[in-house]
Amino acid sequence: MLLYALALVFLLLFGVGVLRDRRRFGNAVCLGLAVALFALALLGTLHRADSVAAETVLIVVVLTPALGSMVLAGLLIANGLKMVRREGRSLGNLLALLSGLGILAVFVLLLAATRTDSEALVVLARTVFVLACYLSFLFACFVGYAYLYGRLTPREDVDYVVVLGTGLLDGSRVPPLLASRLERARRLYDRQVDRGRSPLLVASGGKGSDEQLPESHAMADYLVERGFPADRIIREDRSRTTEENLRFSHAIMAAADPDYRCVVVTNNFHAFRAAVFARREGVRGHVAGSPTAAYFWPSATIREFVAVLVIYRWANLAVGALLVLESLSL
């Protein structure tokens, strides 16, 4: 009963956190802990049940994570190879492949540890396994909550629709990834107009070293060429990163109206991390995601997860250090 009670406590904390500000990563962790504790409580209940059906379900539940991890590793490797063929060999494009190989490496290490008399190898395998479980838990929290966050379409009236830039093709053309954001922003803008509002659209993106013009100018040109009113576009052309996109856009909006409300548009894989940054930068609004090609999603999601780990790096390093010390002491 204790585990069920703890699961309920974390579920309530999750609900309170979402009501207060759904852009917090802490919400994802509370939801993950609630689900994990409930699963453990359910396993305990099944273990105490004296029936063949209960034992069968228990075996299936215990084996599923291991089998699922092997399947996931294979899918990540296949996706990583596809990413390399289509997008090139950059580190970002290799993340799915490296993650899949990393999962297999953990299994190989665990298998080797069970077949050796080396105490050092056993300790190493145990430590790596504990850290892998911690990262897997956080990743599951991130993916699950990011999916939920992406389904929560902002429905409130807004004064601004902010579009985050990406990068330009050949230094001047809007790529499909950015076009997807602009089309989603346009739909959100039209929805506000239909409700009697007259928001402004903030195109946010500066000029990269390999670009012929600021991203915000290319974004504005793309929209105007497709009939969007030019007088409803504001060009934020100083930013180089997502943080700067949000910081400089916030400054523009707050200068005009400190009580403004906005919706920020990016791609769906990037929405939750952008929401975390938006909260840190004081942006008054939520983030909406636009569609992304399916093959691009795994590597992009892993990249976003790594970026969130870096945001909370001191907390993660502290937890990781405690887990390593505990593993070494066993």
Q: Which of 86-95, 153-162, 219-228 has the highest mean pLDDT?
A: 219-228
pLDDT confidence band for 40 (50 / 70 / 90): confident
pLDDT computed for residue 156 by the predictor: 78
* Count of residues making up the chain: 330
Instruction: State the pTM of this model.
Output: 0.86
| Segment of 7-21, 62-76, 292-306 carrying the highest mean pLDDT | 7-21
Reported confidence tier of residue 154, pLDDT bands at 50, 70, 90: low
Measured CA distances, 238 to 9, 10, 208 (Å): 45, 41, 10
Please check the confidence at residue 64 and state whether its pLDDT lies above 80.
no
* Residue with token string 């309920």: 8
Q: Where does residue 154 rank: exposed (0-12), middle (13-18), buried (19+ CB within 10 A)?
A: middle
The pLDDT score that the predictor gives to residue 131 is 93
Instruction: Say if residue 276's pLDDT is above 90.
Output: yes
**Residues 6 or more apart in contact with residue 143 via CB below 8 angstroms:** 301, 305
Which amino acid type is present at position 305? Answer: F
| DSSP per residue, 244-266 | HHHHHHHHHHHHH-TT--EEEEE
Q: CA–CA separation, 150 vs 262, rounded Å?
A: 16
Residue that wins the pLDDT comparison between 330 and 195: 195
- Token pair, residue 248, equals 């400089």
- Mean pLDDT over the full length of the chain: 88
